[in-house]
Amino acid sequence: MVEAQSGGTAPSLAKLMKTSRWQKRVLLVCAPSPDDASLLRQRQLLAPARADLQARDLLVHEVVFSQLSSADKNYLSENIRVPATTFTVVLIGKDGGPKRRETEPVAPASLFSTIDVMPMRQQEMRKSKP
């Protein structure tokens, strides 16, 4: 469920956001370097919550600024307003808009409570009831 970027094989952020729109919620976990303590902590917090992430159509995408193309750096700063020097978690709704922004690792329960009150998620939960 965690999609980490790698070399040139990962899709651009713009493409990821475009293909995810109306299909997936996206949690961008942004850090200045791959060994950032907050990034490592966020991974630890999310690891046991895979089933709940999947149930909420949530794609976790790690963004390491030191490994980004200049196009992705520009996209992050201009479209999502994420500074390249700070750990930031941004929850993007299925509509493509930012729903929550934090500068500290987020507990899954807190994240899920944010998602579960969204109108689209409420609709999904009603549809999944027998």
Place of tokens 């089933």: 51
Q: Write down the pTM of the prediction.
A: 0.87
**Residue 10 has what pLDDT?**
62
Can you tell me the distance from the alpha carbon of 87 to that of 103, in angstroms, rounded to the nearest whole number?
Answer: 6
Q: Which fold has domain 2-128?
A: Glutaredoxin (3.40.30)
Token readout for 112 is: 């899920």
- Mean pLDDT, the chain cut into blocks of 10 residues (130 residues total): 45 90 95 96 96 94 93 92 93 94 97 90 80
